[in-house]
Every structure is written in structure tokens, then in C-alpha cells.
Amino acid sequence: MRAIRRAASAALVGVTTLALSSCTVASADPGGEEVTTFGYRVSPTTVDAGGEVTLFVTDCRKTARIHSDAFDTVTVPRGEAFATTDVGWDAKPGAVYEVTFRCGRETGHTDLTVAAGHQKRPLHDPGDVQHGVKAGAGGTMDGFDLRRIGLGGALVGGAIGVAYYWSRRRPSGDGAS
């Protein structure tokens, strides 16, 4: 009888452990992100329009694809852990964009917030040009400096004089012919 109790207790503990460890949660966690078999996140979660974000994917055994209206679709190859991308300049300040991570048939969602406030313009924006370049001075007397010209002439003259001196020197009388 004792052997049956031991076997039944061991079987009950084993079945309970197996049942508890294989439960899957289909609801969202308190952070608002779904529970998936792979991990994902966006860093930073708040960024200026035109700013860079890093998209992290862990435990994905396939190529991950990440999509959002805030940026172009990004691919994280199998075996890689992250990718970076720029948020579009047309992203609305203060808007919250959904970011969708797809690994195989599984998807997860998180949010990306575009910071409200002063937005920087791209460098190629025509509004950034303040004035034209200074042109037309090449080959003219602009920047004519007599001291520099005199110093340059003295250096060239000195170099010629030293070269002439060394070339005209007679060999010493040590027996060389």
C-alpha cells in the first residue's frame, strides 16, 4: 500500500508541475505588451521626429520584421539582436505610434512616442541656408599681405644663397682629388 501512495504522490506532483509549466498566457501583461515566446522592445520609447531608435529582438529563431507608421519597415536577420532606424521627419509631435514586431507567425506590439516640442529640421531643408558662399576673390588682390610676401621672398632667397654656397665650396686638402 505504501508503494502505491508513493507512486501516486510522485505522479500527482509530476502532472501538476507539467501543467503549471506549460500554461500559456494569452492576455496582455501589465506593461501593455503581449506575452510572446520572443522578446522585443524599442529604445528610447520617446524620440524627436528624425531621431534614431534601436529595435531589439531576442529569442527569435527567424528573421524578424518590425513595422510602424513612424518609420520604414525594418528587418532584423536571424541571429542578430537589434537594428536601428530613423523616425520620419513627418512624424507628428506628441503622437503615439504602434510598433509591430513579427517573428515567424507570432506578433507583439509596443508604443513609440514622438516628443512634443521644438522639432529640428533636416540639414537639407532650404530654410537652413542663411547666406551664400563668398566667391569671386580667387586670383584677385583680396588678402594681399606685404609681410607674408616679403617673408616668403626672404626664405626663397636664403635657400638659393645656401645652395650656391654649398655648391661652390672647394674640397678640403685632406688628400682627396
Q: Is the pTM of this model over 0.75?
A: no
Low-confidence ranges of the chain (pLDDT < 70): 1-34, 117-144, 173-177
Grid coordinates representing 3 are 508503494
16 sits in which H/E element: helix 2-21
Looking at residue 11, what is its pLDDT? Answer: 47
Q: Is 91 left (phi over 0), alpha (psi -120 to 50) or beta?
A: beta
Residue 108: strand, helix, or coil: strand
Q: Using an 8 Å Cβ cutoff, are 36 and 106 in contact?
A: yes
Q: Architecture of 36-118 per CATH?
A: Sandwich (2.60)
Looking at residue 28, what is its pLDDT? Answer: 37
pLDDT, tens digit (0-9, with 9 covering 90-100), for 113-148: 998 865 555 555 555 555 555 555 555 555 667 888
